[in-house]
C-alpha cells in the first residue's frame, strides 16, 4: 500500500512538525532551489524529501540534500561582486548545510556516518561552478570548518576531516594559513587521544600538513619519528637552513649540508671562515643544489656568532659595535638572537651593550653536557655499589 504524502503541507508551514529544523531550513531554501533546479525538479526534490522525512530515512535525506550542492554553489557564484546578495545567499546556504550535517547524529550505524562524512568532504571540495568564485571558496571553507568542529577532538573521525581540509588547502593556497590554524595540533591529538592511526597514515598526514604550514620543520620531524630515513633527515636539515627563523641545527647529515651545519654550530665560527666555505666551488654547488641563498645563510652565521660572543663573555656585557659579524645593522642581528631564544638579556642603547642574563647551549654543548651527566652518574653508581659490597 502506497502512503500519499502531501508535500505542500510539510513544507508550507502548517504541519505540526514544522518546527523541526530540518523542515524549517529546507523551507527557507525553497526559493533558491527553485531558481536553480526549476519548478519541475524542485517539485521532485520536495516530494522525495517529504517521503523520506516521514519514513525517517536520515541517511537518504542527507544524500538528497547534499545532491543540491552544485545548484547552491552556482547560485552563489552568480552573485559574485554583489556583497548584499552574497551575504544573504551564503547565510541561507550555511543554514542548509548545517542541517545536512546535523543529520549525522540521527544515523544509526558508524558505517553510515563515516560514509556520509567522506561524501560531504568530496562533494564540497569537488563541486565547482563555472568560473572562479571567491564567495564559493569562502563558503566551502566555512562548511568544512563546521564539519571539523562538529566532531569532538577526541573522536578519531576528525582525522578524515583533517585530511579533507589539507586537500582543500593544497588546491586553494590562499586559504592555507587558515586551514593550518585548524589542523596544526594534529600530532598532539593523535597522541593525547590515542587515535588508532597507522604509522603510514601518520607519515602521510604530517606530509600534508607540512605542505600548508609556514614552517614545515616540526611536521617533517614528526614524519621522521614514525618513518626515519637519511633522505628525510637531509630534507629537515635543508629546511632548517632555509627557514629564516630557525637557529637550532641538530642534524648529523653527511656531505656539504652537514658541513654547513657543523660550521654554524661551531663555538669558534668566524664570518671569514663561513664566507670562504660558501664561496668555494663545493659551497656554490651546495647552494645551487639546495636552492639556498648565501646572504640568508650569512645572516644565520651572524646570529650564531652573537650567541657565541654572549656565551664567552665573562662580564656578560658585550659591546655590540665590536661584534665580528660584518653587518651594517649589528643591533638588528642582536635582536634576532634574542627573539630566537638563543640569548636572554637586553640591549643598553646608551652604552651600546648587550647585557646578557643567560645563553642557550648549542646543540654540541647539550650533547656534551648529557654525556658528562651520564659519565658522572655511572661513576656515582659504581661508587655506591662498592660501598654496599664493603
pLDDT in tens, 114-126: 999 999 999 999 9
Residue with the larger pLDDT of the pair 108 and 168: 168
Cell numbers 536520515 correspond to 58
Residue with the larger pLDDT of the pair 115 and 53: 115
As a whole number of angstroms, the distance between CA 291 and CA 157 comes to 39
pLDDT band at 113 (very low <50, low <70, confident <90, very high): very high
Determine phi and psi for 172, rounding to 5 degrees: -135, 75
Identify the pLDDT of residue 369: 46
As a whole number of angstroms, the distance between CA 390 and CA 153 comes to 58
Q: Answer for the pair 332, 348: CB distance below 8 angstroms, yes or no.
A: no
pTM: predicted TM-score of the whole model, two decimal places: 0.77
Residue 263: how many other CB atoms lie within 10 Å = 19
C-alpha to C-alpha distances, 223 to 168, 189, 199, 220, nearest whole angstrom: 21, 15, 9, 5
Q: Answer for the pair 345, 317: CB distance below 8 angstroms, yes or no.
A: no
Cell numbers 661584534 correspond to 323
As a whole number of angstroms, the distance between CA 13 and CA 344 comes to 68
C-alpha to C-alpha distances, 239 to 215, 216, 279, 318, nearest whole angstrom: 9, 7, 21, 31
| pLDDT, tens digit (0-9, with 9 covering 90-100), for 253-298 | 889 999 999 999 999 999 999 999 999 999 999 999 999 999 999 9
Checking if the pLDDT of 11 tops 80, the result is no
Structural domain boundaries of the chain?
1-126+137-150, 152-228, 255-359
Residue with the larger pLDDT of the pair 65 and 130: 65
| pLDDT, tens digit (0-9, with 9 covering 90-100), for 331-349 | 999 999 999 999 999 999 9
Q: Answer for the pair 375, 383: CB distance below 8 angstroms, yes or no.
A: no
Amino acid at each position: 500500500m502506497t502512503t500519499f504524502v502531501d508535500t505542500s503541507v510539510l513544507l508550507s508551514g502548517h504541519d505540526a512538525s514544522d518546527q523541526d529544523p530540518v523542515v524549517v531550513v529546507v523551507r527557507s531554501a525553497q526559493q533558491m532551489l527553485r531558481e536553480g533546479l526549476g519548478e519541475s525538479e524542485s517539485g521532485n526534490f520536495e516530494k522525495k524529501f517529504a517521503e523520506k522525512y516521514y519514513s525517517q530515512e536520515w541517511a537518504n535525506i542527507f544524500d538528497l540534500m547534499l545532491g543540491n550542492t552544485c545548484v547552491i554553489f552556482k547560485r552563489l557564484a552568480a552573485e559574485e561582486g554583489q556583497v548584499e546578495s552574497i551575504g544573504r545567499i551564503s547565510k541561507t546556504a550555511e543554514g542548509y548545510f548545517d542541517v545536512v550535517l546535523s543529520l549525522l547524529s540521527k544515523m544509526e550505524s558508524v558505517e553510515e556516518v563515516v560514509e556520509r562524512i567522506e561524501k560531504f568532504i568530496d562533494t564540497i571540495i569537488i563541486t565547482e561552478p563555472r568560473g572562479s568564485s571567491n564567495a564559493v571558496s569562502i563558503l566551502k571553507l566555512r562548511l568544512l570548518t563546521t564539519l571539523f568542529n562538529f566532531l569532538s577532538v577526541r573522536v578519531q573521525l576528525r582525522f578524515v576531516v583533517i585530511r579533507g581540509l589539507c586537500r582543500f588547502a593544497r588546491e586553494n593556497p590562499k586559504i592555507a594559513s587558515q586551514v593550518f590554524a585548524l589542523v596544526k595540533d594534529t600530532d598532539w591529538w593523535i597522541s593525547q587521544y590515542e587515535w588508532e592511526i597507522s604509522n603510514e597514515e601518520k607519515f602521510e598526514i604530517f606530509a600534508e600538513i607540512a605542505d600548508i604550514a609556514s614552517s614545515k620543520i616540526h611536521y617533517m620531524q614528526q614524519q621522521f619519528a614514525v618513518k626515519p630515513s637519511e633522505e628525510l633527515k637531509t630534507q629537515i636539515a635543508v629546511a632548517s637552513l632555509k627557514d629564516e627563523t630557525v637557529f637550532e641545527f641538530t642534524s648529523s647529515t653527511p656531505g656539504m649540508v652537514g658541513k654547513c651545519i657543523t660550521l654554524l654550530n661551531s663555538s669558534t665560527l668566524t664570518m671569514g671562515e663561513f664566507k670562504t666555505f660558501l664561496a668555494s666551488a663545493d659551497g656554490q654547488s651546495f647552494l645551487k643544489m639546495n636552492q639556498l641563498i648565501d646572504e640568508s645563510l650569512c645572516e644565520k652565521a651572524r646570529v650564531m656568532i652573537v650567541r657565541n660572543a654572549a656565551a664567552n663573555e665573562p662580564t656578560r656585557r658585550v659591546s655590540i659595535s665590536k661584534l665580528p659579524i660584518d653587518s651594517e645593522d649589528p643591533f638588528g642581528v642582536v635582536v634576532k638572537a634574542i627573539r630566537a631564544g638563543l640569548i636572554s638579556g637586553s640591549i643598553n642603547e646608551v652604552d651600546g651593550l648587550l647585557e646578557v642574563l643567560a645563553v642557550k647551549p648549542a646543540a654540541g654543548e647539550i650533547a656534551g653536557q648529557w654525556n658528562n651527566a651520564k659519565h658522572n652518574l655511572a661513576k656515582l653508581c659504581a661508587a655506591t655499589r662498592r660501598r654496599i659490597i664493603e
